[in-house]
Amino acid sequence: MFPIRDHNPSQKTPYVTYALIVVNVLVFVSYWPLMSDARAINAFFGTYAMIPARVSAGSDWLTLVTSMFLHGGLMHLGGNMLFLYIFGDNLEEELGHTRFLGFYLLCGLLAGAAHVISAPGSMVPTVGASGAIAGVMGAYLLMFPKARVDVLFIFIVFFKIFPVPAWIMLGIWFGLQLFNGVGVDPQAGGVAYWAHAGGFLVGLALIAPLWLARGGPAYWNRTQGHPPHPEAQYRMVRSSIPAAGRRVNGTPPPRITDIPRSGRRR
C-alpha cells in the first residue's frame, strides 16, 4: 500500500519541491554509469555516503548533507521523489520557499544523526532523502491530519485505489518504522528505520510552532483537520481506448470504460 496523490492541491507553485526533485534526479543520473561497476560505486559511496562510524568518530560530517541527495537505485529514487511530490508542495506553501528549504535540510540532517545514534559503529554507507521526506510527512500529519490521500493497495493480483485520511496512512507508515526499527539490527545495514522515525518526529517538532501560532487544536476545530482550501476532486472518465480482443460470433469486443484519471494539481 503506497500513496499516489492527495486531495490537497497547493495554491502556489512549489518551486523548492520541484527543484529538490530535479537535483536528486540529476545527481543520480550523474553517477548512474558507476552502478554497473561494484568497485567504482563502492568507492563513490565510500566518499559521499554517510558512514555512521566515521561520523561518530568526528569526521566526514559533510556526508550528512551529501548522502541526502544519493540513492541506491531507480526504485529507491522513484519512491522517495513520489512521496516528496505528494506531501512537499503543501508544506512549502505553508512555510514559504526559503523556510521550507531550511526545514527540509534540517530534517534530513537530524534524521541522519538519529541513524548515527542507533548504529554508531556501522561501516555500512547510508544514502537517501528518506529522512528529510519523513520530516515533511510528520509536518503534513500535524497540519492536515484529515486530508485525503489516495493509496494504491496491491494484494497478489488484486489492486485498488481508494482514499484514506492522512493520519491513517502516515500513522501506519510511522508505526511500521518503529516496529521494524525495534526488530532489525541497525548495524547490519538495510533500511535505516530509525532515520525515518527520527526524521518524522523532527518534522512534527519543527512544524509545531506554526501549528500553535494558527491556534493548535483551535486550528483543527476551524478546519476539521482538512486543508484550509477546497480539496481536489477526482472523477471517473470514459476511456476512448478500445479493448484488445477478438470477435465472438461476429460481435465486436467490449470497450473499456470508467478508467480513473487523476485531476490536475495546481
**What's the pLDDT at 259?**
37
Tell whether the model's pLDDT for residue 152 goes beyond 90. no
Residue (of 48, 51, 41, 63) closest to 192 by Cα position: 51
Amino acid at 47: T
- Comparing 188 with 12, the larger pLDDT belongs to 12
What share of the chain in percent tops pLDDT 90?
A: 59
Looking at the structure, give the CATH architecture of the domain made up of residues 2-231.
Answer: Up-down Bundle (1.20)
Query: Largest Cα–Cα distance of the chain, in whole Å?
Result: 77
Tell whether the model's pLDDT for residue 264 goes beyond 50. no
Tell whether the model's pLDDT for residue 102 goes beyond 90. yes
| Residue corresponding to grid cell 522517495 | 80
pTM, two decimals, is: 0.83
Could you give the C-alpha distances from 204 to 33, 62, 116, 229, in angstroms and in order?
38, 25, 20, 22
Q: What is the pLDDT of residues 207-226, one digit of tens each?
A: 999 999 999 999 888 887 87
User: If you average pLDDT over every residue of the chain, what do you get?
Assistant: 85
Q: Is there a contact between 140 and 227 (Cβ–Cβ < 8 Å)?
A: no
User: What letter does residue 188 receive in the DSSP assignment?
Assistant: G
**What's the pLDDT at 229?**
64
Q: What is the pLDDT of residues 56-84, one digit of tens each?
A: 999 999 999 999 999 999 999 999 999 99
pLDDT (average), residues 130-147:
95
What strands lie across the sheet with 148-155, from one edge to the other?
2-6, 148-155, 158-165
